C-alpha cells in the first residue's frame, strides 16, 4: 500500500522555536507538496518541489522554508514559529502529469503557544 508518512500527528511548540515537519513517501513520486488547512479557507499551498534539491514557492510561503535533499523526503521548516502558524499541515506527493492524483499524508496538527 502506497504511503505518505508525516512524522508527527500532533505537535506543540513555543513561539520563536524552529520547527521541522518531516514527510516521506515510498512511491518514487517526483512531486511533493506542503499545504496548510484552516477552517473556512481550504487547503493552501505553502511550497512544492518537482525534483530533488528543487523548490518553488506556493501561495503562502512567508515564514516557511523547505528542504528536499532526497527524492522521498520533503521537509517543511518554520524558522521562528508564531501563533498564526497554528494549523493542520498536510504533505502530498504525485507523479508528473496533469491527471495523476495526489496522495496525502495524515497531517500534522501544529499548535504554537
What is the torsional sign of CA 84, 86, 88, 94?
positive
- Positions 30 through 59 that interact with other proteins (CB under 8 A): 31, 40-45, 50
| CA pair distance 3, 10, nearest whole angstrom | 19
Applying CB under 8 A, which part among 11-19, 65-73, 75-83, 100-108 lies near other proteins? 100-108
- What count of Cα atoms within 13 Å lies in the side-chain half-sphere of residue 94? 14
Q: Please measure the distance between the N-terminal and C-terminal CA atoms of the chain and give it in whole angstroms.
A: 36
22 binds other proteins (CB under 8 A): no
- Positions 74 through 93 that interact with other proteins (CB under 8 A): 90, 92
Binding residues for other proteins (CB under 8 A): 4, 9, 31, 40-45, 50, 90, 92, 96-99, 101-107, 109
Amino acid at each position: 500500500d502506497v504511503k505518505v508518512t508525516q512524522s508527527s500527528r500532533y505537535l506543540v511548540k513555543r513561539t520563536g522555536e524552529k520547527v521541522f515537519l518531516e514527510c516521506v513517501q515510498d512511491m518514487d513520486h517526483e512531486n511533493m507538496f506542503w499545504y496548510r488547512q484552516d477552517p473556512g479557507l481550504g487547503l493552501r499551498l505553502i511550497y512544492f518541489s518537482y525534483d530533488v534539491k528543487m523548490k518553488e514557492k506556493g501561495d503562502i510561503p512567508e515564514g516557511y522554508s523547505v528542504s528536499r535533499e532526497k527524492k522521498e523526503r520533503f521537509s517543511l521548516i518554520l524558522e521562528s514559529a508564531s501563533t498564526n502558524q497554528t494549523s493542520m499541515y498536510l504533505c502530498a506527493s504525485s507523479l508528473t502529469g496533469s491527471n495523476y492524483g495526489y496522495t496525502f499524508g495524515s497531517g500534522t496538527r501544529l499548535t504554537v503557544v
